[in-house]
Amino acid sequence: MTAVEGSVPEMLGPFSWTITQAQIDAYAAAAGANDPIHVDPAAATPLGGTIAQGMLVLAVMAEFIGNALHDATAWRCSGALDVRFRAPARPGDRLVVRAKRIAARVDEFGAYELWCENADGVRIVAGSARIPLAAFSR
């Protein structure tokens, strides 16, 4: 194992936040994602209220990963996420992001199982992250 591989931690996180309707509304305004299922709590939707945009949740997950690294620029330039959205996030939900190392080195990347879960432990987003080894170096 090289020194760089030795700097790839076993776990990233947990990172947590509570998603709010204000965050959902701000994302809708910025991204043009103002479907009533996201921004209109009074709308009659099949999910019984508003839900966060999947890309909002994913963006927060990616930001948490970047904040845990020594070189977030390397992550932003060449990191990769491959996820599935499994359940909605609702305003008021306390969400937790976790990542567990699968391999310290796959090519020039550290490989992680990545997920976001709600307060009930339900994985609402699950998949993997490939983080450039350079992002772990000082």
Per-residue pLDDT for 78 more than 80? Answer: yes
CA angle at 122 for the pair 121 and 127, rounded to the nearest 5°: 110
Residue 83 binned pLDDT confidence (cut-offs 50, 70, 90): very high
Instruction: Give the model's pLDDT for residue 106.
Output: 81
- CATH number of the domain at 3-19+51-136, please? 3.10.129.10
**What sign does the dihedral 81-86-88-92 (CA atoms) show?**
negative
pLDDT in tens, 106-125: 888 999 999 999 999 999 99
Instruction: Give the model's pLDDT for residue 41.
Output: 86
Position with higher pLDDT, 47 vs 54: 54
Residue 28 binned pLDDT confidence (cut-offs 50, 70, 90): very high
Instruction: Give the model's pLDDT for residue 3.
Output: 46
pLDDT in tens, 33-43: 888 999 998 87
Which residues, 6 or more positions from 58, have their beta carbon under 8 angstroms from its beta carbon?
81, 83, 125
Domain parsing of the chain, residue ranges: 3-19+51-136
